[in-house]
Every structure is written in C-alpha cells, then in structure tokens.
Structure 1
Amino acid sequence: MIDVMSRDTETTRPAVPSRPAATCAPPSAGVLLPAPTPSFTHRVDERDVLVTRWWRRSETEFSFDLDWSGDHCFFDAAPGAAHSEMLVAQTIRQTGLLVAHAGLGITRSHEFLMDSMRYETHPHRPTAGRAPGPMTATAVCVRSGRRTLDIGITVRHAGGVFLTSSSRFGWVSKDVYRRLRGAYAAARPVPAPAPEPPALVGRRTESEVALAPAGRPGRWLLRGDTGNPALFDHAVDHVPGLVLAEAAHQAAYAFVGDPAFCPVSTAVTARQYVEFDAPCWIEAREVPTRRRGARAVEVVGVQRGRTTFSCVIEGVRSPAFGSGPVSGA
C-alpha cells in the first residue's frame, strides 16, 4: 500500500502572504465547491496546495483549476524531463484526496492507502523551466469496492492534454489502521545515510536526494527522512508512497545515465509498507519497451528480502536535446 495520509504538524517554512489563485474560465456546468484546504489535500502548508478552484459536474465527475507556479516546496524537473514528476504525482494525489474527502464525504478520520498509480505525460507539451500558466483537470471516479475508489484524471494546459492518469486507493478507520500497523504505528524515521551526488540522480541539493550509495551499479539504499518538506512535511510511521515514487525516478535517471532522459510513463504498484527499522534496497534493471528510441527501467524496493513496491518508468530522448534515441536504446 502507498500511503496518502497526513498527520499534520508544524512546518519550518516561513509564513508568506497567500498567493492569488490562478483562474481559468469556469466549466460550462457544475457546482463550485468550497476552496481546497491543506487538510483536505493532506499537506501542512497552504502554499503546497496545487488546486485553486474545483467544481462538481456530476456524481462521478469533477473539474479543477490548478496552479503549479506558486511558492510550493516541490522539486523542479530533472534536466531532461518535460515535467516535474513530483508536481505530477502531487496533482494526482491532491485531486484524488479532494474528491474523496469533500466530494464523496470520506472523513479525515480515515487513513488513505493507495494501491497503484499510473500516468503518462506528453514530452512535446513541456511545463518544466517555464511558467506553464493556467491548468485545468477533470477527474472521473468509480467506487470499485466498499472502501476502494478508482480515479482517472486528465490535465490540460496551453490548449492540450499533457497528463493522463489512473489510480486506485482505499481507506480504513483509524482503529483498523492502528491494529493493522501494530507496534509500527509509533515508528519514526531514523537519520538518513549520506546521499549520492545530487547531479547523479537529477537533483540539485542533497536534501532532495532519496538514494544513498550501495556499492554496486543499479543498486542503492533508500534514504528515509532527508529533512526536505517536499518529501516529509508531517509525522509518519512508514516511508510515504510519494517518497518511493521519487526514489524510483532518481534511480531510473541514474541507471540510464543520460541527462536527455525524459520520462513519459510511470506505473507504481505497492505491495507492503516500507518501514523505518530496516534497510530498503532500491534496485533498477532494464525492461523491454515497444516505444521506438525509448528505454524502460523497472525499479523495485526490497526490504528484509521482500519486494515492497515496483515502478516501471519509460522515457524518450528529451525534445530539448534534439532528435534521436535515448543513450543505450
């Protein structure tokens, strides 16, 4: 399971005035819903809320205005990427949580567990390295079980679609969650080992690096809490799912070894929690792809000899680096 929960604590980032909301033309039909809050998006800081307005268009469909240009803490794109993978994942997460909480009435007293997240991005509609301007999204949700929800999301900017996703998550009561977690419910992060050089994994600072050297190619040690609020902005009892997704992207970037590597699809599947009390090894290997000139990398997490999650990332050569295949394709 990938957690999408939050136990809000104070943030160390200094307070600043709220940014004005980016707005688009409202949907042709729909009921404007209350303004998104950090609580409903499971963030601590208001600046990290990426949804500015949203509407209910039917029992199963919602529309959103998004703003990626604010003073949020999320990471920039890697050198060859057309989009920030962290902003993509946070957009999927936040819109899904809003639909669950405010749209479907699932209270904040529940804990959310994401089973899978898959998305594709368009390399020729880049948002990285520029102010992308207003964005809109639509979400269609289907209850696939009594406590599970499937959500499909489409995001547009500059007149076209650049992101599509599908994800599945469930929820349990806090009492059930405490029983499920047992002694781990009180677990907290341990100090992170020394990181890989940021440039090796496509990052800028050491606090952004989710991987530590493991002494052999294609293998790393997962760094738990690096102190960066983009990765951990609240107390948790296991490594958050979006930290695992970030670690997978960093591993794929390092494994390919080409700064022109531009991710175009990501598929994350969770199998069990990644705990703080034992090393979690991140391992990458090449897998087949049908996309011409592309490379695909499967990244898995292994803890106590068991696979905790898997992530397949497919990438092409960034249009910003010219035509041709990714190195090694």
Structure 2
Amino acid sequence: MTLPTKLPSASSRDRLRYDATVPRALVHRASVAEVFITDSVAAATNGIGRAEATFEVAAQLPRGHLIGERSATYDFLLIVEVLRQSGVFVAHRHLDVPLDSAFIFKAMNYQVRSVDALRIGTRPAHLVISLDVRAERNRAGRVLGFDFDAVMFVDDVPALEASGGLVFVSKRAFSMLRAKGRDRVRTAAPASTLVSRLAPAAPAALGRHDPRNVVVTEPTVDPSGNARARLVVDTRHPHLFDHELDHVPGNLQLEAARQLAVAAVARLHGLFPEQLLVTELRAHFPEFAELDLATTVDARVGGVRQSKAVGLLSVPVDILLEQSGSTVSEVALEVALWA
C-alpha cells in the first residue's frame, strides 16, 4: 500500500461533521461513550464489487479513556477500534448491509507513518479515515463482505495506513459457524477448559497502569526470545466487552499480543515497557476464540532494527494465540522505542 501524496478532497472534508457521534447501532456498540465515528461521505464510486469505492469517515478519539490510560499518544486499541467502526459504519450506511447481520473480521493491519500525528494534543483531534473498499457481492447484488485499504489523517496529517477484510453473514449462518466452535469445546481435553479467573500480571511489566486493562498472566521470557502467557478474560470490561459476546473478541486478542510483546521486548532488551509503542500490526483470525477454552499466547521476539517507516529503533514480534491445539489468531507487531 502506498501513502497518498494529497489529502482527501477539500469538498468532502468540508462536508464532514464532528458535532455528534453516529447512532451506536451503526458501529455495533452498546455504550454511546464508546462510539467514535461522527460522519461519512461517499467520495467516489467506481462500481463496487468490480473496482473500488472510496468513503471518507470522520471520527474523534477521546483524549481520556479507560484503555488509553495516561499515554501521550492515542492508544493502539483505540486506533484498532476506530478502524473497525469505520468499516462497520460504511457497510451499514453506504452498502446497505442489514443491521442484524453478523460481522466477522478476517484481518486487520496497520502501519504508523507519523508518531507525532498520534500525540494527544490540547484539544480533540479531527480524524478522517479515507477508505477504499473492494466489495464482494452475490448474484442478487447483496454485499457479502469487503476488503479495504485506508489512510488515517489526524488534523490533516497522514498518521497511518491500514488494510483489512470483513465478512457479513446472516444470523442463521453465524449460528452454524459458532456451532463448529462449540464442537471444539466439547472435544477439548479437560485441562483446556479450566479458565477460571487467572492471576493477571503486574500492569507495569506490560506498559500498563490500570489493573483492569491487564489481559495476560505474568509472562515467561527465555534468553533466546521466546515468551509465553495465558489470556485473562474479564467479561465485565466496559470497552473490551461493551456488549455481551459468545466468543473472545479480536480486540482482546490483539491487546494480549501487544502486552506480551511489550513485556518480552522490554525484558530482553532492558527497556522500560511504557517507552514501547506499536507502530505496525498484521493480524489474521482463522478461528473463533471460545470464552470457555484456555488460551495460550506465544511470542517470538526478533532483533533490534531501524524502522524506515517512523525512523525509530524497533523490534519485530510474532505472536500466536492458541486454544486446544488450534490457532485462533496470528499477530505480527513492530514495537518501537519512542520516548
């Protein structure tokens, strides 16, 4: 993906509003406080399903949030969430995907281009997510899903590039997909189903401050760069479980990957966890993660290198989340030393 050399068109940006958030149902949120999208416009249409359509989505990220804690930059998970909400909102508002459809994220990727653009300022930032969509339709014209490329502009500065893919299915089809996952639980070894509340790691070891945001156990890290932890799931968390779910959401899995990566890189390279920032994400979700199966999080930490994208020292980390021998997500992160 190539970063565009110009901003979204002034005419479309001038039409975007930031004075209120969109209805929460259109971004699949229960809490109004968890809605970040404020508006959107169709910037170009070139035959959805055959070529591309471009949409520009307006958003604000909160300067203070439970997940963001005391970070000087907009948090990794909040960036993931605003990208997710952008895709969901475009599907409902512009592509006529029914509100009762189930949304499945196949993949989510992003790469930071400007850390400075992500710094939290003295006023709420105006975001524009320019979303190029390639939709797949059935013979009747119904949208079955889409892949997207995106650029997030923060106060007119290109902050990051992103891409991903979503699939939309009916409630009946979703129930059939979930039945497959439940079969995996029924055939799992007894030890794999012991998921009573695990002891979370100390927040400071993970670059966190608030114990409520810790989602892994104390990591083990060996000198060769291998790290392991177990997933800690708290279904009462107001952001990660904004509404009731029958599976472990993707954003929780991504946060577990981030926390293990930060802890392992800090320990191996003698760094402070709070100085480490995720500047690149590549994630794929081949299976649903079940709430009542134990989840292991394994990481392999690479060597220190110079990131060409942001000009910082960074470390690549590859992470697998597994349940009962099956991979539920594959995540690759680039963790940079920025402060």
Give the TM interval when normalised to the shorter protein.
0.7 to 0.9
Give, as a single letter, the amino acid of the residue that structure 1 aligns with 2:236. G
Deviation, 1:226, is: 5.0
**CA 1:27/1:77 → structure 2, altered by over 3 Å: closer, same or farther?**
farther
Aligned: 1:54 with 2:40: yes
CA distance in 2 between partners of 1:159 and 1:29 (Å): 12
- Contact 1:272 / 1:309 at 8 angstroms: preserved in 2? yes
TM-score by length of 2: 0.77
From 290, 297, 300, the counterpart of 1:285? 300
Greater helix proportion: 2
Partner of 1:14: none
1:277 deviation in Å? 2.1
TM-score scaled to structure 1, two decimals? 0.79
Cα 1:251–1:214 change in 2 (3 A) is: closer
1:7 corresponding residue in structure 2 = none
Return the match for 2:217 from 208, 212, 216. 212
- Pair 200,289 (structure 1): closer, same or farther in 2 beyond 3 Å: closer
Q: CA RMSD in A?
A: 2.9
Partner of 2:127: 135
Highest relative contact order (Cα 8 Å, sep 6+), 1 or 2?
1
Distance in 2 between the 1:116 and 1:78 partners? 28
Q: Counterpart of 1:264 in 2: which secondary structure?
A: strand
Which sections of structure 2, spanning at least 5 residues, go unmatched? 1-9, 46-52, 139-143, 186-193, 308-312
Tell whether 2:53 aligns with 1:67: no
Q: Deviation per CA, 1:234-262, whole angstroms, max 9, x where unpaired?
A: 11111001111111111111111133222
1:154 alignment partner in structure 2 = 151
1:10-21 matches, within 5 Å, as none
Matched residue type, 2:60:
D
Secondary structure of 1:246's partner? helix
Partner residue, 2:290: 275
Q: 1:41 aligns with which of 13, 27, 43?
A: 27
- Kept in 1: contact 2:282–2:332 (CA 8 A): yes
Say whether residues 1:236 and 2:245 are aligned partners. Answer: yes
**Structure-2 residue corresponding to 1:21:** none
8 Å contact 1:294–1:317 — kept in the other structure? yes
> Is the 8 Å Cα contact of residues 69 and 209 (structure 2) preserved in structure 1?
no
C-alpha distance 310-128 of structure 1, shift in aligned 2 (>3 A): farther
SS of the residue corresponding to residue 197 of structure 2 reads coil
| Alpha-carbon distance between aligned partners in 2 of 1:28 and 1:123, rounded to the nearest angstrom | 23
Partner SS state of residue 12, structure 2? coil
Give % identity. Answer: 23
One-letter amino acid of the structure 2 residue matched with residue 176 of structure 1 = A
